[in-house]
Amino acid sequence: MNRQRRARIVATLGPASRAPGTIKALAEAGVDVFRLNFSHGSHEDHAANLKAVRGAEMALQRPLGVLADLQGPKLRLGRFANVEIAVKPGHKMRFDLDPTPGDETRVQMPHPEIFKALREGMLLLLDDGRVRLRVGKRTDEWADVTVESGTKLSDRKGVAVPEAIIPVSALTPKDREDLNFALRIGVDWVALSFVQKPEDMAELKQIVKGRAACLAKIEKPQALDALESILDYCDGVMVARGDLGVEMPTEEVPVAQKTIIRAARQRGVPVIVATQMLESMTSAPAPTRAEASDVANAVYEGADALMLSAETASGDYPLEAVGIMNRIMERVESDPLWPGLMDAEHAGMDDDFDADALVAAARKAGEAQSTACIVVFTTLGGTARRMSRERPLQPILALTPKPETARRLALVWGLEPRLGKEPASLEDVTEDAVASAMKYDLADAGQRILILAGTPFGAPGAANLLRLAHAPAKKAKR
């Protein structure tokens, strides 16, 4: 069950898609990684979803990844005595720590860490940016604010502070409990929300200890400012356009998306583009033309994966959304202009110059029309990710003896991860590569196969072996 495209699809599970039969159908339609959104649902729901994904994986004989998305801190206002107040530009009020229900003059903001970060003149965004306020006088316990735009405020609306780093951990007590549970049931990826600085990802990595791959959601301007340092601690990264669109001007979001994708591709870090990809399909059987173009543009940019959220979690047309995204991806990758865009930008050499040089040589050798596929032997996935970073046009068959590695690689551009035994000799490398390429219909008789591996076999490390082989020619009929 090979994909006819290089970009991957992440789908969020929820009430509309959690049935085991639906999960299997979604994988058949094109989903490579399933997202468990820990902002919603119980631990029992998530455990059942993961079990269903593993069942679909077994039925389809294709590794499927599972991504646990942690909620992160939720900064909100307190409550109003009458649930809601009217505001207009110029309206003045005070935010404080007093839990007494608020009115038109004041309301609680139960986050002392926000008051400590505020400075006079800073911008505050409430209710996903529907209300904009400017900070006036402030202390560590209260702040006077003036409304710049907006018409109403109601209970428990979210607060964003785009111009300050809030001194809170990206991992709340709820997140830590969810993280421990997710690791216990065996998720493949963990996504951290509210990342502001590299220390946030370092803390996550320290807790996870290699039991899952770690992904940073870039949804705050501060994370963009520290992007290169954050990537040092990332196994993957997500362009979380929803919150980015709240905390920065709308016209900046497309630029931020390109910046994140370019930086991640340079590092060989898988990058997901998320939020409102096919939003209208939560209630309509077809996307808008603008949404189709949005999906296509992310594929043209070379993103590893695109993510569906409400479209598959709670929408009326989850299978149709995946099918249409799959068709758009395939159409883009059949565009004669697409190969040139993939070839236009290649990463530079990193600390392991020899391995990078070998991978670059494999990409160059793969340009021969007779090359059917590239077979990579990998233990922990590093060599396969290096090969993907080069964006070759041939399918990359990533053979690994570790199921957890295969599932993590399901997110990575161009890879067809499969389980395979550890080769014991150079002869095994060639024989296994050729047999696997033909078994998975990635090479026909007589076609050339490029093989990338590392010695000593079985020891994690960078590739140091590049071989050419040919699938055996068909026997002549008598």
The catalytically annotated residue of 5, 62, 138, 217 is: 217
Q: What would be the CATH architecture of the domain defined by 84-160?
A: Beta Barrel (2.40)
Q: Is the pLDDT of residue 288 over 90?
A: yes
Is residue 386 annotated as a catalytic residue, yes or no? no
Q: In the chain, what are the domain boundaries?
A: 8-72+170-335, 84-160, 346-470
Integer CA distances (angstroms), 317 to 33, 285, 351, in order? 18, 6, 46
The catalytically annotated residue of 35, 138, 220, 448 is: 35
Q: Express each pLDDT in 179-222 by its tens digit.
A: 999 999 999 999 999 999 999 999 999 999 999 999 999 999 99
Q: What's the whole-number mean pLDDT along residues 54-64?
A: 97
Q: Which two tokens stand for residue 166?
A: 């809030």
Query: Cα 5 to chain center, whole Å?
Result: 17
Q: What would be the CATH architecture of the domain defined by 8-72+170-335?
A: Alpha-Beta Barrel (3.20)
- Alpha carbon distance 426, 431 (integer Å): 9
Q: Which CATH class is domain 346-470?
A: alpha beta
The catalytically annotated residue of 5, 8, 275, 378 is: 275
- Alpha carbon distance 12, 234 (integer Å): 21
The catalytically annotated residue of 54, 74, 76, 262 is: 76
Provide the residue type at 476 as one letter: A
E strand segments, 202-251: 213-218, 236-240
Is residue 418 annotated as a catalytic residue, yes or no? no
Q: Express each pLDDT in 92-148 by its tens digit.
A: 999 999 999 999 999 999 999 999 999 999 999 999 899 999 999 999 999 999 999
From 362, 356, 390, select the one nearest 451 (Cα to Cα). 362
Is residue 217 annotated as a catalytic residue, yes or no? yes
| Residue recorded with tokens 């898988």 | 270
